[in-house]
Structure 1
Amino acid sequence: MFNNKIIGHDFQKGILKRAANENLVSHSYLFSGSDGIGKKLVANEFAKLINCKSRGSVDSANLDSAACVCGSCAKIDKGIHPDVIYVQFEGVKSIKVEQIREGVEERLFLKSFEGKFKVVIVDEAERMSNGAQNAFLKTLEEPPPNSVIILITSNPDSLLPTIRSRCQLVRFNTLAEELILEELKSRGDLSSEDAIVCSKLSNGSLGRALMMDSDLIGWRKELIQYLMHLKPDSAMSIIGLAEYMPLTSDPEDMERMTLAFEFISLWLRDLMLIKTDSDKKGITNVDLIESSMQIAEKWDLDNILDKMGALEKTRNDIYNMNANKQLSFENLFIRLAS
């Protein structure tokens, strides 16, 4: 009984389903894995599974939880179940002790209203400060009866070893590129070519893939094509491309700049793969493979590695040294064009 629309993670879903069916539900879990791969969706389905009013009926073993119409599952889907608590501190870099006590502990120790289990799902648990983690440790050591705590993180090493040791680890892997491509095609929001490129840019994260649209895929293509035709002695072209980049400190511009660095890095990696006659399946920018092969013929491996080094230096200068963005990009594009 798991929503069949959650793609992948069959092994992890099987572990959780078996724990529920055999009454071996742990009091605390640590869901670990990359962002956007479905950890929170699985946590939500697990909360539905252990509190489902239909579980144990004749047909429940084969029941898709999305089709379950019991009151408990319906409330959890709507986010209004009184015994399933979602904890997410948006816009907070570091979760403090007081926030954990008010958002988790005080609510966790309240008596259940209607569910068999009181479930607390803490998203981005890695943002808890050391003080908050230490305060939370006592709750993990002495949880109230019939309670389940699910910590979700993309960076388990940021959690204290004592926190990790008291949770049952469920490690989620990135999704296969083929699964993401199939899902993108089924949604029909992208052309077939854009869906293929998007699946390759996703890094195994469906959430990341769904954040990309045809405009972003097109912007990536324009950026790389511009770099392909850039001449080191064309100052106007270099300045023009630098001005084309997102240069403000606005969050949207900063996110777009991060993607620009990634897109350029992946393109240089494509050139490396072409140059070394590696498996062409690893190429990301499949819509630019012919023009990339022409570029790869002109550059040697040392030249490509030098450009990769220049890219990383520029990234470090902007993010860590507070360098002037436009001047940094101009210097980078001179290196990439030479």
Structure 2
Amino acid sequence: MSGFKDVVGHSEIIQYIQNAVTEDKVSHAYILNGEKGSGKKMLASLFAQTLQCEKGGTEPCYECHSCKQAVSGNHPDIIWVTHEKPNSISVDDIRVQINGDIQVKPYNGKYKIYIVPDADMMTVQAQNALLKTIEEPPAYAVILLLTENANSLLPTICSRCVMLKLRNIKDQLVKRYLMEQLQVPDYKADVCTAFAQGNIGKAAMLAGSEHFNEIKDEAVRLLKNIDTMELGDLVEAVKRISAYKIEITDYLDILMIWYRDVLIYKATMNIDRLIFGEEIDSIRERAKKSSYEGIETILEALEKAKARLRANVNFDLVMELLLLTIKEN
């Protein structure tokens, strides 16, 4: 069982949380904003456990009845909000699980804590329903909203919550964690760390994924051949990419890192800083063909594609537009 001391990185957020607990200045609502795999759920869970711990310290003790209930997932005053629809949290989800429950006092803790994973999936109606509760919460209530994109929340909600932004963790800390905690070999830890870009959850996932090399090879193959591809070939490429819909963020990140390498090489001619160092011939060729403006356009298109897919825009349409932008630049 881990405590705050076992969390890699996020020291400022941990210090903030522990100060709030020590000084009894816990807010009624927080937004924990960060990428998937950045540690939002772990921090929210530790925060909730610490608030409910009967020993009243700055870490869960894991010995009291409350901590044991929390670890088993059966604490009556730590409520994880769920949703049936895969891509949205409905107004009924909020009304039933938060609004309709929050007036019931805690069973045996000082607080009643609601944790909402994927809070950026709340519909506007759901957010408005939650807003009424956040505006006038009971004194014992604490609501933790976990988001990948806090900008999708209503400004009125953001203004009433304490924003805790999970930042990227230093590469050396990520690599050390992979090698020391997960026994990942040195060379593999380097690759996973580079691709994770400061996201320790992602680094751990990549280290344990047999699928990752397949995705990487498919993405590199596309980038090497896209110049000679006709429209029909691009459509076929989109069909192949659709096999990785679940890991599409990883796929797009690989494309971004490739063009980051192209940009670095174009600007510095230095191969030591390249993540795709083994593909130097293709990187060099792309750097010659693409202008700085063209590379920037591609990187912007990749970010837009991520945002559109998060917003449930048609997958094939998003990817076709992206590949056309890459081909044209």
> Normalized against structure 2, the TM-score is what?
0.79
Change in 2 beyond 3 A, CA 1:203/1:294: closer
Q: Which residue of 2 aligns with 1:296?
A: 284
Counterpart CA distance in 2 for 1:113 and 1:46 is: 18
Residue 117 (str. 1) matches residue 108 (str. 2):
no
Q: Does 2:103 match 1:102? A: no
Distance in 2 of aligned mates of 1:270 and 1:218: 18
Contact between 2:34 and 2:147, CA under 8 Å: does it hold in 1?
Answer: yes
Instruction: State how far apart, in whole Å, the 1-side matches of 2:177 and 2:224 are.
Output: 35
Q: RMSD value over aligned CA atoms? A: 3.9
- 1:283 and 2:274 matched: yes
Matched to 1:12, the amino acid is: I
Question: Offset of 1:299 from its aligned partner?
Answer: 5.0
273-282 or 165-174, which deviates more: 273-282
Residue pair 1:120, 1:148 contacting (<8 A) in 2 also: yes
C-alpha spacing 1:84/1:310, structure 2 compared with 1 (3 Å): closer
Hey, what does 1:78 align to over in structure 2?
A: 72
1:196 counterpart = 2:184: no
Aligned to 1:271: 262
d(CA) in 1 for partners of 2:226, 2:115? 53
Q: CA deviation at 1:270?
A: 1.0
- Structure 1: runs of 5+ lacking an equivalent: none
| Gap runs ≥5 in structure 2 | none
- CA deviation string 1:65-124 (max 9, x = no partner): 3x5311111211221100111113254323222211101122222121111111111112
Q: Deviations over 1:207-238 (max 9, x none)?
A: 22222235334325534664687597899xx9
Check whether the contact 1:36–1:207 (CA below 8 A) recurs between aligned residues. Answer: yes
Offset, 1:178: 1.9
| Shift of residue 171, structure 1, vs aligned partner | 2.1
CA distance in 2, matches of 1:114, 1:171: 31
Alignment match of 1:146 (pick from 126, 140, 143): 140
Say which of 222, 235, 260 aligns to 2:217.
Answer: 222
Distance verdict in 2 for CA 1:107–1:227, change over 3 Å: closer
Mapped to 2, the partners of 1:89 and 1:298 lie a distance apart of: 45
For the residue of structure 2 that corresponds to 1:194, the secondary structure is: helix
Look at both structures and tell me which one has the larger radius of gyration over its CA atoms. Answer: 1
* Mean CA deviation greater in 263-272 or 223-232: 223-232
What is the letter of the counterpart of residue 33 of structure 2? S
The 3-state SS of whatever aligns with 1:53 is coil
Counterpart residue number, 2:8: 7
Number of aligned residue pairs: give it: 319
Spell out, residue by residue over 1:51-78, the C-alpha distance to the aligned partner (whole angstroms, 9 max, x if none).
11112xxxx56xx53x531111121122
SS of the counterpart of 1:148?
strand
Structure 1 residues 325 and 95: CA distance shift in structure 2, 3 A: closer
**Partner of residue 240, structure 2:** 247
User: 1:68 — aligned with what?
Assistant: 62
Q: Distance in 2 between matches of 1:159 and 1:104?
A: 17
Length-normalised TM-score, structure 1: 0.77
2:179 maps to amino acid:
K
Alpha-carbon distance in 2 for matches of 1:297, 1:36: 34
User: For residues 114 and 75 of structure 1, what CA distance do their matches in structure 2 show?
Assistant: 11
User: Could you say which residue in structure 1 is the equivalent of 2:253?
Assistant: 262
Q: Tell me the SS of whatever aligns to 1:151.
A: strand
Rate the CA distance shift 1:257–1:73 in 2: closer, same or farther, 3 A: closer
Helix, strand or coil for the counterpart of 1:255? Answer: coil
Query: How far does residue 264 in structure 1 lie from its aligned partner after superposition?
Result: 3.3
Q: Which moved more, 1:116-125 or 1:297-306?
A: 297-306
Distance in 1 of aligned mates of 2:286 and 2:111: 64
Q: Check whether the contact 1:108–1:147 (CA below 8 A) recurs between aligned residues.
A: yes
SS of residue paired to 2:137: coil
Residue in 2 that maps onto 1:30: 31
Task: List structure 1 segments (4+ residues) > 4 angstroms apart after TM superposition.
Answer: 224-235, 241-246, 278-282, 303-313, 315-321, 323-326
